[in-house]
Amino acid sequence: MIFNSRRSPILSTRGMVASSQPLATQAGIEILRQGGNAADAAVATAAALNITEPTSTGIGGDMFALYYDAKTKQVTALNGSGRAPQELTIERIKKDGLFNEQRLEIGDFFHAHNITVPGACAGWVDLIKQHGSMPMKEILKPAIRLGEEGFPVSPITAYFWNRGVERFQLHRRGRAMTIDGRAPKAGELFKNPDLAKTFRIVAEGGSESFYKGEIGKKIIETIRKYGGVMTEGDLANHVSTWDEPISTTYRGVRVWECPPNGQGLAALMALNILEEYDLKSLDPLSPERLHLIVESLRLAFADTRWYVADPKFNPAPLMRLLSKHYASERRKIINTQYATLDTKRGSPVAGSDTVYFCVVDGQGNACSFIISNYMGFGTGIVPEGCGFTLQNRGHNFSLDPNHPNALAPNKRPYTTIIPGMMTRDDGSLFAPFGVMGGFMQPQGHAQVVINMIDDGLDPQAALDRPRICLEPGAADGRVALEEGISAETVSTLKNMGHDTYSVSGHARSLFGRGQIILNQNGVLWGGSDPRADGCAFGV
Express each pLDDT in 120-155 by its tens digit. Answer: 999 999 999 999 999 999 999 999 999 999 999 999
pLDDT above 90 for 477: no
As a whole number, the mean pLDDT across the chain is: 94
> What's the pLDDT at 523?
97
The C-alpha R_g of the chain, in whole angstroms, comes to: 22
What are the residue ranges spanned by the domains of the chain? 1-465+513-539
Show the beta-strand stretches assigned E in 415-522. 420-423, 429-435, 468-470, 479-482, 500-503, 514-520
- In this prediction, residue 438 has a pLDDT band, given cuts at 50, 70 and 90, of confident
Residue 17, phi-psi category: left (phi > 0), alpha (psi -120 to 50), beta (remainder): beta
Closest CA to 373 of 177, 131, 211: 177
- For every residue of 124-176, DSSP letters joined together read HHHHHHHH--S-HHHHTHHHHHHHHH-EEPPHHHHHHHHHHHHHTTHHHH-GG
- In this prediction, residue 349 has a pLDDT band, given cuts at 50, 70 and 90, of very low
* Residue type at 432 in one-letter notation: P
> What's the pLDDT at 166?
81
> What's the pLDDT at 5?
56
Residue 387, phi-psi category: left (phi > 0), alpha (psi -120 to 50), beta (remainder): left
> What's the pLDDT at 49?
97
pLDDT above 90 for 519: yes
> What's the pLDDT at 475?
54
pLDDT tens per residue, range 242-286 = 999 999 999 999 999 999 999 999 999 999 999 999 999 999 999
- Percentage, residues of the chain above pLDDT 70: 96
Q: Is 354 a catalytic residue?
A: yes
pLDDT tens per residue, range 197-242 = 999 999 999 999 999 999 999 999 999 999 999 999 999 999 999 9
pLDDT above 90 for 399: yes
- In this prediction, residue 447 has a pLDDT band, given cuts at 50, 70 and 90, of very high
pLDDT tens per residue, range 157-201 = 999 999 888 888 887 888 889 999 999 999 999 999 999 999 999
pLDDT tens per residue, range 85-98 = 999 999 999 999 99
Higher pLDDT, 94 or 343: 94
* Residue 358 and residue 516 in contact, taking contact as beta carbons nearer than 8 Å: yes
> Among residues 354, 389, 415, 416, which one is catalytic?
354
Closest CA to 330 of 356, 357, 305, 296: 296
Higher pLDDT, 343 or 319: 319
Mean pLDDT of 99-118: 95
pLDDT above 70 for 356: yes
CA–CA dist 354, 73 (Å, integer): 28
pLDDT above 50 for 352: no
pLDDT above 70 for 401: yes
- In this prediction, residue 1 has a pLDDT band, given cuts at 50, 70 and 90, of very low
Q: Which CATH number fits domain 1-465+513-539: 3.40.50.720, 3.40.50.2300, 3.30.2010.10, 3.60.20.40?
A: 3.60.20.40
* Residue 43 and residue 141 in contact, taking contact as beta carbons nearer than 8 Å: no
Closest CA to 53 of 435, 388, 440, 415: 388
pLDDT tens per residue, range 383-397 = 999 999 999 999 999
Work out the burial of residue 97: count CB atoms within 10 Å of its CB; fewer than 13 is exposed, 13-18 middle, 19 or more buried.
Answer: exposed
pLDDT above 80 for 332: yes
pLDDT above 60 for 51: yes
> What's the pLDDT at 2?
42
pLDDT tens per residue, range 293-306 = 999 999 999 999 99
User: How much of the chain is in helix, strand and coil states, percent to nearest 5?
Assistant: 40, 20, 40
